[in-house]
Amino acid sequence: MFNKLNIKTLAIIFGVLVLIVALTQWLKSSGNDRNFRESLVEVDTAKITSITIIPKGQKEPLVLKKTAQQWELLYKNKTYQTDHGPVNAILKALTELRPERLAATGEESREQYEVGESSGIRVKVEESGKTTAAFIIGKVSYQQNYQSMNTFIRLENEQDIYAVSGFLVMNFNQDLNSLRFKALGKGSYDKISRITFSYPDSSFTLTLNGKIWNVNGMPADSVNVYNYLQMITNASGSSFADDASPLKQPVYSVLVESDAKNVMEIKAFPADSTNMFYVTSTANPGAVFSESRGGLIKNLFVPQNYFRK
């Protein structure tokens, strides 16, 4: 009898506990029930064919267009080669637009959160000509001494304004030059076997013989050679000079070769007193950069003594 009662009592207690847990979970979920969407946009980055961005305060769109080989940048009826880094960052950001909360709703709140037609960054995503996402990125809200931040977003043709985690302005508020391909160098430093330097008053050659680098036939400083190879294969320009005057005879040139072929050739042409030099590279056809005498010019076109032991 005692065992029977004990089992019954335990069963009742267990049932009550289960009911309490279920009720608690229901109340908890009811209290935190989301009244807004789980995700702002649904995109498949592999299927995106174009991304149109109108930066804040601008009227002319920047259009990233996907071709069979790569992404291209269209701006004012001109086509430019893109930098993979910023494009990949934009694609990644599109997959992470998940709202943390509903910040406001109604037209009267648009200017406060900078998500109006002219006050925010306008973005449109297309897949084969069909718009799959269109939204406006507004201001950034910093919290807890800049430990976290939210960006406010409004979907086009909707009233609701959402707070999204992260600093989205950094990815989307780009200008033309930020998205363009800036590389001057290319290739792997360990594949290079010969570099020829040509200057107005001299020329010399850096050559790999077996595993030993020589400068004009004399043993070279291996550390400086290694540093230079790393630098030139990763070199990039800073300021584009699309309106550069016709380029004639270069002042400096560096021809980089591997065992099989020319890897690249970088040239510096005389410019005006402000830019000092225009720089081109076969690694980035069509691009012209303006560079001062220091910095990049100094690093690329080093004297022969730099490589000597």
Supply the pLDDT for residue 147. Answer: 67
Supply the pLDDT for residue 18. Answer: 55
Supply the pLDDT for residue 273. Answer: 72
- DSSP E strand stretches across 98-223: 99-105, 121-127, 130-143, 148-155, 160-165, 192-198, 203-209, 212-215, 218-219
Supply the pLDDT for residue 114. Answer: 93
CA dihedral for 225, 230, 233, 235, sign (positive or negative): negative
Supply the pLDDT for residue 127. Answer: 93
Q: How far apart are CA 295 and CA 202, in angstroms?
A: 21
Tokens of 272: 């005006």
Spatial contact of 268 and 251, defined as CB atoms under 8 Å apart: yes
Q: How far apart are CA 266 and CA 257, in angstroms?
A: 12
Supply the pLDDT for residue 29. Answer: 44
Q: How far apart are CA 62 and CA 51, in angstroms?
A: 8
Supply the pLDDT for residue 255. Answer: 96
Supply the pLDDT for residue 180. Answer: 95
Q: How far apart are CA 103 and CA 135, in angstroms?
A: 15
Supply the pLDDT for residue 305. Answer: 95
Q: What are phi and psi of 58, to 5 degrees?
A: -110, 160
What's the start-to-end Cα distance of the chain, in Å? 100
Supply the pLDDT for residue 245. Answer: 82
Convert 119-129 to b/e letters by CB count within 10 Å (16 or more is b). bbbbbbbbbee
pLDDT tens-place string over residues 184-217: 999 898 899 999 999 999 999 999 999 999 999 9
pLDDT of the chain, 309 residues: tens digit per residue: 444 546 666 556 656 565 665 555 544 444 444 556 777 888 999 999 999 999 988 889 999 999 887 899 999 999 999 999 999 999 999 998 888 889 999 889 999 999 988 889 999 999 998 999 999 999 998 876 656 788 999 999 899 999 998 888 889 998 999 999 999 999 898 899 999 999 999 999 999 999 999 999 999 999 999 999 999 999 999 899 998 887 889 999 999 999 767 789 999 999 877 678 999 999 999 999 999 888 899 999 999 999 998
Query: Strands 239-240 and 50-54, how do they pair?
Result: unpaired
